Amino acid sequence: MSAESTCRRCDGPTAIKTRQANFCQPCFITFIQQKQRKAMEGCKVLFARPGCVLPPAINILVPISFGQSSLALLDMAHAQLEEQAKTYENAAGFTLNAVFIDCSEADPLEKEPNQIISELEKRFAHAKFTCIPLSKAFEGASSVTLKHNRDYTSFVSGISEEPTSVQQLLSCIGTKSAREDIISVLQRHLIIEEAKKQNESLPTTVAWGHNATRLAELTLSLTIKGRGNRIHAQVLEHKNPKDSISGLPEIHPLNDVLSYEIPFYNSFRNVSDLAVDTVSKPSQVTKNLSIDQLMHQYFENIQTNFPSIASTVVRTAAKLDDPNAAKQGLTPCLICASPVDPNQSLAWLTNITVNEPAAPETEEEEELSKKAHMEKSQEKTGDADRHLPVPNLCYGCIITIRDTDSFTFPKRASKQDILDEFTL
């Protein structure tokens, strides 16, 4: 066999050619797993003294979507546990919790979530699985209905003690991009809530399964949605909980693995068949895609000609700082809870998107304009909800709710809300 077609490390048969090198199956698995092990350095088995193993001091929470990437991370973490159990007689350096946010009500999967989880439980015996329905985000929360004006301002048109439902929420969202945006906000919220719950019994680290290409897509789609200030929170690793907005360590063990490498890893490890896709497939017409879908397509296409592009974007994003770090007086956005400088985004928007008409020129125009004005002021007085508070929204959420007619969202009582209400 010529040198070109054998593995760079062991001269075995080449199974994948990537990063300008040939790898055989075992060497590729090791190569990828080492990246994950390095990211999870703190997950080693602890000893009180030689021969005396301590119980795990860390909990790893892996959010799973049943996609290829999170499945690969789950397999890697699980392989690490298996190895630890084998080497040190049933010892473990960490506990492994896989959390699935069930969005099938909004976006059905090809299989029933419970069925998939029972298959995963068989394959990954050392991991615990939790399935949280998306509707949990609405439980016990009152609901707020928002409406937007012709300009970018919006107002609360009603607050109800009755929780809203997933169907109700999604039915009022007009575009795929806005729908996707809102679902991802809720998903992230539920994952972090679950992680905080688990953190109470054992220090928890959230290990996201995003690969480098996915992180690059996320960086660009956050930028495109006007959420550039969230890149620091969502794309960067925060090993120190103090830097993390969620207050928990968040890591991306696959941030150096490219999207096309993941299916190879999964097939070499015989876990590919466990991945499940959603029923709906992206449209063939560019105009009908969502922003995330378009970004996914962009990177899949450009990666063939410019293979280093995803890692370039991830490295660039890593240089960004939290833009709100030094700012005072920020309040959480009503929808996504990210810190907002009240009115700043709105002022910026209204300054560059003017809605003032040009003055009427003829008498006829003057008449019509007066009439329209009268009708409007009558409408205003008829609107009894005017006294309700002005919602505090971040830029990204202002843009998102413009894609809705009226938008009913669960109002989550924050710790501060409760304190404000009950402290005397």
The residue ranges that bind other proteins (CB under 8 A) are 150, 175, 177, 219-220, 222-229, 286-287, 289-291, 294, 298, 302, 306, 309, 312-313, 315-317, 319-323, 325, 345, 348-349, 351-358, 360-361, 364-369, 372, 395-396, 399, 402-403
From CA 206, how far away is CA 227, in angstroms rounded?
Answer: 22
27/235 with CB nearer other proteins: 235
From CA 223, how far away is CA 197, in angstroms rounded?
Answer: 31
Using alpha carbons, select from 101, 37, 104 the residue that is nearest to residue 73.
Answer: 37
From CA 415, how far away is CA 424, in angstroms rounded?
Answer: 15
* DSSP string computed for 43-82: GSPPEEETTEEPPP--EEEEEE-SSHHHHHHHHHHHHHHH
**Residue 205 corresponds to which tokens in the numbers above?**
């680290």
168/312 with CB nearer other proteins: 312
Q: Which positions ≥6 away from 23 have C-beta within 8 Å?
A: 7, 8, 9, 14, 15, 16, 17, 31
User: b/e map of 318-338 (b: 16 or more CB within 10 Å)?
Assistant: eeeebebeeeeeeebbbbbbb
Phi-psi map region of 166: left, alpha, beta (phi>0 left; psi -120 to 50 alpha):
alpha
Supply the minimum distance, in Å, between the C-beta of residue 401 and other proteins: 12
At 413 the three-state DSSP class reads: coil
Q: Which positions ≥6 away from 38 have C-beta within 8 Å?
A: none
Supply the minimum distance, in Å, between the C-beta of residue 261 and other proteins: 20
Contact of 124 with 74, CB cutoff 8 Å: yes
Supply the minimum distance, in Å, between the C-beta of residue 228 and other proteins: 2
Supply the minimum distance, in Å, between the C-beta of residue 366 and other proteins: 7
Supply the minimum distance, in Å, between the C-beta of residue 175 and other proteins: 7
64/313 with CB nearer other proteins: 313
276/295 with CB nearer other proteins: 295
**Residue 321 corresponds to which tokens in the numbers above?**
């700082």
Supply the minimum distance, in Å, between the C-beta of residue 300 and other proteins: 13
145/345 with CB nearer other proteins: 345
Supply the minimum distance, in Å, between the C-beta of residue 84 and other proteins: 35
How far lies 75's CA from each of 29, 68, 96, 115, 369, in Å? 11, 10, 11, 18, 66
Supply the minimum distance, in Å, between the C-beta of residue 237 and other proteins: 13
Q: Which positions ≥6 away from 181 have C-beta within 8 Å?
A: 225, 291, 396, 400
Supply the minimum distance, in Å, between the C-beta of residue 290 and other proteins: 7
Largest CA distance in the chain: 96
At 143 the three-state DSSP class reads: strand
User: b/e map of 185-216 (b: 16 or more CB within 10 Å)?
Assistant: bbbbbbbbebbeebbeeebbbbbbbbbbbbbb
Supply the minimum distance, in Å, between the C-beta of residue 407 and other proteins: 16
Supply the minimum distance, in Å, between the C-beta of residue 239 and other proteins: 15
30/312 with CB nearer other proteins: 312
32/218 with CB nearer other proteins: 218
34/344 with CB nearer other proteins: 344
245/349 with CB nearer other proteins: 349
At 31 the three-state DSSP class reads: helix
Using alpha carbons, select from 173, 197, 199, 196 the residue that is nearest to residue 184.
Answer: 173
75/403 with CB nearer other proteins: 403
114/331 with CB nearer other proteins: 331
